[in-house]
Amino acid sequence: MKIEIYSDTVCPWCYVGKKRFELAARARPDIGFDVRWMPFELNPTLPEGGVEREAYLAEKFGDPTRVQAMQARLRELGLMRDIQFRFDLSRRMPNTRASHALLAFAGEHGDQDTTSEALFKAYFEQGRDIGNRAVLVEIGAGAGLDAAELARALEGRRHYAEIEALERRAHEWGITGVPTFIFDRRYAVSGAQETDVFLQVFERLQRLARAS
């Protein structure tokens, strides 16, 4: 079963959705899953070096109590899925193009799932700046990728045109938010849905496959 997950690397709901999807996938070891991580930048116009995170949140959400309530809810949900959200550690809101380039590189040379997990953990649990190329090379190397080749790819912006093309296609398909899960190009699930929702989609697609 082919799963295309449109996501951004600074989207906390994408991290939660990833964990919920994986729990559903582990419950169905009889199904072979081909998971692809697809780019969807929530803030593509941010400066390449990113911006100060507190100022960004103040401009986007206004009332700081709204941000605090949202973060408290995410911390609670995260603990249920072995995520230790540490919003207090993050100082930058990065431009995520380079992190998507890392995922594209991983898709060609390694394991996208491992790399995606490492990116989410680095940003949300360790407060690392995943817009910084040196940081991305460290994350990629830790996920088993060749550091020198990855550094050259990021420096040369090797995957940027591909990322732009995939994002244009996402918009053409009507995708407006993340996470969005596309199943065999037949079903779409938007948002960090509960595990049961994914299990229902798996079953529906299997019924269709048996009937065809």
pLDDT tens, 120-165?
999 999 999 999 999 999 999 999 999 999 999 999 999 999 999 9
CATH of the domain at 39: 3.40.30.10
pLDDT value of position 139: 98
- For the CA atoms of 29, 34, 35, 38, the dihedral, rounded to the nearest 10 degrees, stands at -170
pLDDT value of position 63: 85
What are the tens digits of pLDDT across the range 67-88?
Answer: 999 999 999 999 999 999 999 9
pLDDT value of position 57: 92
The average pLDDT across 43-53 equals 96
DSSP letter assigned to residue 124: I
Q: How many domains in the chain?
A: 1
pLDDT category at 168 given cuts 50, 70, 90 is very high
What one-letter code names the amino acid at 61? F
Tokens of 31: 């199904």
What are the tens digits of pLDDT across the range 172-199?
Answer: 999 999 999 999 999 999 999 999 999 9
pLDDT value of position 61: 87
Q: Which domain holds residue 70?
A: 2-211
Residues 6+ apart with CB under 8 A from 82: 19
Strands 92-93 and 180-183: unpaired
What are the tens digits of pLDDT across the range 10-43?
Answer: 999 999 999 999 999 999 999 999 999 999 999 9
Strand partners, 35: 3
pLDDT category at 119 given cuts 50, 70, 90 is very high
Does residue 212 have a pLDDT over 80?
Answer: no
How many whole angstroms separate alpha carbon 115 and alpha carbon 97?
A: 15
